[in-house]
Copies of this chain bind each other. A is one copy, B any other.
Amino acid sequence: MSDTSSRQQLVAGAADMIRRRGLNATSIREVAKHSGAPLGSTYHHFPGGKDQLAAEAVRHAAETTARALDAALETGAVEGLRTFFALWRDVLVRTDFRAGCPVLAVSVEEPQSGGEPTAALRAAAEAFDGWEHRLATALRAQGTPEDRAARRAALVVAAAEGAVAMSRARRSTRPLDDVAAELAELVATGG
């Protein structure tokens, strides 16, 4: 259990740090220290190094969000949207606007190894896909036409991510709240 807990703490710690500082500014040393684990252990648990750790951190955060989204979407698309935005609002307020979305953070930093896209970046793409897919399914269930549902789900995810970043820059939940209100109306009236 101690092994599992140590590994999980590393992943959670990495997610929290990426959320705040971004991927490149998150060092393995600090993640380990913050998790109470020795540096050497990090490479034991994650032989793929920083990229593997970051990818698992992104997946961890993405799944946590996806579970909350699933629960809320059972009550309908509008409630799912409300919960999605409330989740991000909580992160912002709890951290005094110092933390945002780790998936977004990974998405806006070019992999510095010149070649193929990083595992972390692939995980980010899958995270966005997962959220979109869930929202689109809920929209179709409430009668939105097929292609429209997909586009609207993309709009919701994109707007939420952008609004979180804008709220961090402005140090105010205003952008997030405004965007949430606008989208709620749109989704409720079927637009």
Please report A residues at the B interface, Cβ cutoff 8 Å. Answer: 20-25, 98-101, 103-110, 112, 117, 121, 124-125, 128-129, 150-152, 154-155, 157-163, 165-166, 168-171, 174-175, 178-179, 181-183, 186, 191
Contact = CB atoms under 8 A, between A and B. Distances in A.
A95 to B, nearest CB: 9
Q: How many copies altogether?
A: 2
B154 A179 contact: yes
A151 B21 CA distance: 28
Q: Which 10 A-B pairs have the closest CB atoms?
A: A158-B162, A162-B162, A161-B162, A24-B25, A158-B163, A107-B169, A125-B169, A159-B159, A22-B109, A107-B165
B166 A128 contact: yes
* Interface residues of A, dominant DSSP: helix
B165 A179 contact: no
A152 B185 CA distance: 11
Contacts of A22: 22-25, 108-110
